[in-house]
Structure 1
Amino acid sequence: MGSIPDPGELSELTQPSFDEFQRQTSLMTSCTLLWKELSDHFSSLEQDLNHKSEALKRKIHTLDNSTSDSLRLLDHRETSLDATLQIALRTLDTRRTAALSALLHDADDTSPDGEVDDTAGLVLKLKSFCLRMDAFGFFAFVSAKKKELDGLRAEMPVALAECVDPAKFVLEAISEVFPVDKRGEKAGHDLGWACVLVLESLIPVVVDPVIGKSRLLVTPTVKEHATEIAETWKSSLEDRGGVENLKTPDVHTFLQHVVTFGIVKNDDSDLYRKLVIASAWRKQMPKLALSLGLAQQMPDMIEELISKGQQLDAVHFTYEVGLVEKFPPVPLLKSFLKDAKKVAASILEDPNNAGRAAVLFSLFNIYFYDFLWFLV
């Protein structure tokens, strides 16, 4: 028979060592940490996926809403075409009848020399040109009535509405001086103001009576012609010395032309910005800039005006586009007055300026009334 092992000896053989225990403990700890790390990683992935899923759902929802709005708008535009067409046909028929009547009774015109004594006479004369589609006579008459600018601005849209084709009529009317002044040596005063006035007055006439400004009642042929005119003007910039050497009325006419005929191009946004900045002192420029699609660039444009010392223009822009909180007007006006004092001091220090007192007086009057304009 074999010998029976001693129990004490058996326990010594089967008892694990302390090192083995530590190794097992370390292994368990590593596994636990690895499991926690993997668990956290997958939890993070799950959260990221949930966030991205929610963001994607929101985008899909926004896209669905945008698509629905676009479809509704397209449907509205499509269904409104018949109504707009009927209105246009009735208007055209009325204008044609009125034009024929005007031609038949042209001999009864009591003011062959174009002179009018009151607002009623002014309206009748303007309508007479429009009914007969006498674009050149119309523009010559308007150009001679600068002193009656308020009356012209109020009554011209009414008169243009009498034209058989108002958009075509306006293009013909301003063609003598825009895009190129064809008067040559006979050119006298700048007629940019008249071009701008006529172009501004056309807008309410060509707006769709059903859906509004989102659709202009301008024929494709006229719109194409307007685009060609704009391209001709742009191509002549280099010959005239670039944007810096352009006359403000000419710039204003071009920008108003682009807005009036709805031919704004995104590719020309840099050009529009330069032109607006160059003529920023004109009160219509902020609204024109918005119509030209420069809303996103407005803060940078205002910063540029401030850097050029045109604080008053900057204040005007901030009020028109609603950026008063970002560009508080009071510091800008204080900076403007500070610059004005420097200019006045430089004039006083010039011993060769005999009329410096008169210049200073006029200068401070300008600054004072500009400041007063802001307060009002």
Structure 2
Amino acid sequence: MASELAGGEQLQEAFAKLEAQQTLVSNCIRLWRSLSDHFSALEKSLADRFQAIDSKLKVLDVDTHQTLASLDLRESSLPDRETTAVARIRELQLSALADIENPDTKPPDDVLGILGWYSRRMDSSGLWRFMVSRRKDLAFLRKEITDAVSESVDPARLVLDVVEDCLEKQMRGKGGPDRCWAVGMLTRVLYDFDGGKAPEVSGRMGERAARVVERWKKEAEREEGVIGGPEAQVLLQLVVAFGLQSKFEQDFLKKLVVQYSSRKEMPKLAACLGFGDKLTDIIDELGKTGKELEAIYFAYESGFTENFSPVPLLKSFVQSSRKYANSILKNGNHAPAVVEKSTTMELNSLRSVIKCVETYKLESKFNIDGLKKRVSQLEKAKADRKKTSTPNKSHMKRTRSGGSSAHFRPTKATRTSNASYPSFHQRPPMPPQVGAARHSFNYSGQGGFDGPSSGSHRWSPNPISQQYHVSEDVAGPHSNVSYGGSSASYSAFDYAASHTATAQPSQHPR
């Protein structure tokens, strides 16, 4: 009996050892498989990396050969290009000398000829004065100014002379018509010579440009401590044109960009100011502060559309504009003037959205048929109110007592074109605007031609009307974008669903 029990215990111990060995073998097999899979994955990863490196090396070889061929071609073309450039400079030099040495030579009669005449003579003072005096020909100036300035021996120096001359005149306390639009238009020319690239300038020219821009900055903020929109845009244009990004703190440049983000030129300028990935922070800030349309323009101009989808921004802008217009009606107790203001604001906001969608061809992502229908309804309602509010002319006629002589009002004072104009610092106040509305900003009327800088100027410009719209060239690439105005009216119109936006729309004009 005892021997049987001993044999059973030994058998159990033997089975226990076998199970332990089986477990050990299973663990070893599982570990081996895990190691095998791991090394297989490493081998595959290394093979993929080697393949990627080989493909990159092949692409690099192709690029290297193409670059070397391009360099050889450029090197071989240098003598011809140098000869052409020397001949062109000589031609411009002789043309300018002929104009200067012959004081009896009259300037051309056409606008383009006069622009080229001043440019060939490097007469910066005469050039910008002529432009200011012919602001009524703004569209023609915008079209022809690039070709005219290209006739100068040194376009970059000519533009810098214009900026410095305008600045000197302002610092001497001389008022006169606004010049920012002319300075901005001429600065914009520097981008148009070589596919949108800023010109290459010498180190001495760059240092001079930095001093001029610093003086411009100090003069612009001298009185109010804040740089105005037109002056800020010209400052940023000069920074980009002459490569002065390193001369100014990025926080200062970023502040100007965000503050005047609604100006049409700002998206392109921001992309050229060297912000890099910090542009995403600027776009995010614009989207969170009621400037959704500006955020879209910045995203497309700087290439960050993958980070910022336009559809949520458009919906947020429409929703916030609707809320703001309703608040106008509620606070104004639906008075006729308030209804008109609200209607105008809504119209401008919707037109801004439609224009943005059409500019970047987003119709497939954001349906604007409902917005267009709403615009038609608002325009019709506005026209109907205008008809009903027009007084009957018969009630406005004066009645005359029988037998008595008629009594006439004294003649009103004649308004001439020689009224005083705001100076560099005394710009007229901006009208109230909402919804990141992009529209032309208004300046006071422009005075007559200040007079040429030399005695050979023998023409006299025509008088100019008082009200003008700022040059779209000063404003930039989206010059055809019309942003919202000052007022509008909302009724229960069903917009596309959107997330709630609590921020009030921006109030900076573009």
TM tier relative to shorter chain? 0.7 to 0.9
Paired AA for residue 176 in structure 1: D
Q: Secondary structure at the match of 2:331?
A: helix
Q: Does 2:153 correspond to 1:164?
A: yes
Q: Secondary structure at the match of 2:165?
A: coil
Separation in structure 2 between the aligned mates of residue 360 and residue 246 of structure 1, nearest angstrom: 34
What residue in structure 2 maps to residue 3 of structure 1? none
Paired AA for residue 34 in structure 2: D
Distance 1:104 1:181, change over 3 A: closer
Conservation of the 8 A alpha-carbon contact between 1:98 and 1:131:
yes
Distance 1:273 1:73, change over 3 A: farther
Q: Does 2:314 correspond to 1:334?
A: no
Per residue, is there more helix in 1 or in 2? 1
Q: Does 2:89 correspond to 1:96?
A: no
User: CA offset at residue 250 of structure 1?
Assistant: 1.4
Q: Does 2:73 correspond to 1:85?
A: no
Separation in structure 2 between the aligned mates of residue 183 and residue 66 of structure 1, nearest angstrom: 56
User: CA offset at residue 360 of structure 1?
Assistant: 5.4
What residue in structure 2 maps to residue 186 of structure 1? 174
Q: Does 2:171 correspond to 1:174?
A: no
Paired AA for residue 150 in structure 1: A
What residue in structure 2 maps to residue 144 of structure 1? 133
Separation in structure 1 between the aligned mates of residue 346 and residue 93 of structure 2, nearest angstrom: 53
Gaps of 5+ in 2: 356-510
> Which protein is bigger by CA-based radius of gyration?
1
Separation in structure 2 between the aligned mates of residue 269 and residue 159 of structure 1, nearest angstrom: 34
What residue in structure 1 maps to residue 104 of structure 2? 107
Separation in structure 2 between the aligned mates of residue 270 and residue 39 of structure 1, nearest angstrom: 57
Conservation of the 8 A alpha-carbon contact between 2:232 and 2:256:
yes
User: CA offset at residue 332 of structure 1?
Assistant: 1.9
User: CA offset at residue 30 of structure 1?
Assistant: 0.9
User: CA offset at residue 169 of structure 1?
Assistant: 1.2
Residues 64-120 of structure 1: per-residue CA shift (max 9 Å, x gap): 635864774476357436154333223212211211222234422157xxxx6xxxx
Distance 1:66 1:268, change over 3 A: farther
Alignment of 1:319-330 (within 5 A): 323=305, 326-328=309-311, 329-330=314-315
Q: Could you state the TM-score of these two structures normalised by the residue count of structure 2?
A: 0.56
Conservation of the 8 A alpha-carbon contact between 2:180 and 2:231:
yes
Alignment of 1:225-236 (within 5 A): 225-230=208-213
What residue in structure 2 maps to residue 4 of structure 1? none
Q: Does 2:204 correspond to 1:221?
A: yes
Alignment of 1:1-376 (within 5 A): 17-48=11-42, 50-52=44-46, 54-55=48-49, 57-58=51-52, 61-62=55-56, 65=59, 69=63, 72-73=66-67, 76=70, 79-80=73-74, 82=78, 83-109=80-106, 121-177=110-166, 182-205=170-193, 207=194, 216-230=199-213, 245-265=226-246, 269-293=250-274, 296=277, 300-314=281-295, 316-317=297-298, 323=305, 326-328=309-311, 329-348=314-333, 358=337, 361-362=340-341, 364-375=343-354
Gaps of 5+ in 1: 1-8, 350-355
Q: Percent identity?
A: 23
What residue in structure 2 maps to residue 6 of structure 1? none
User: CA offset at residue 44 of structure 1?
Assistant: 1.1
Paired AA for residue 274 in structure 1: K
User: CA offset at residue 160 of structure 1?
Assistant: 0.8
Conservation of the 8 A alpha-carbon contact between 2:132 and 2:182:
yes
User: CA offset at residue 249 of structure 1?
Assistant: 0.9
Separation in structure 1 between the aligned mates of residue 247 and residue 29 of structure 2, nearest angstrom: 56
Q: Could you state the TM-score of these two structures normalised by the residue count of structure 1?
A: 0.74
Conservation of the 8 A alpha-carbon contact between 1:195 and 1:253:
yes
The count of aligned residue pairs is 343
User: CA offset at residue 240 of structure 1?
Assistant: 7.5
Distance 1:132 1:334, change over 3 A: same
Conservation of the 8 A alpha-carbon contact between 1:309 and 1:336:
no
Which moved further from structure 2: 139-148 or 323-332?
Answer: 323-332
Paired AA for residue 350 in structure 2: F
Q: Greater RCO between the two (CA within 8 Å, min separation 6)?
A: 2
Conservation of the 8 A alpha-carbon contact between 2:199 and 2:241:
no
Paired AA for residue 183 in structure 2: C
User: CA offset at residue 198 of structure 1?
Assistant: 0.3
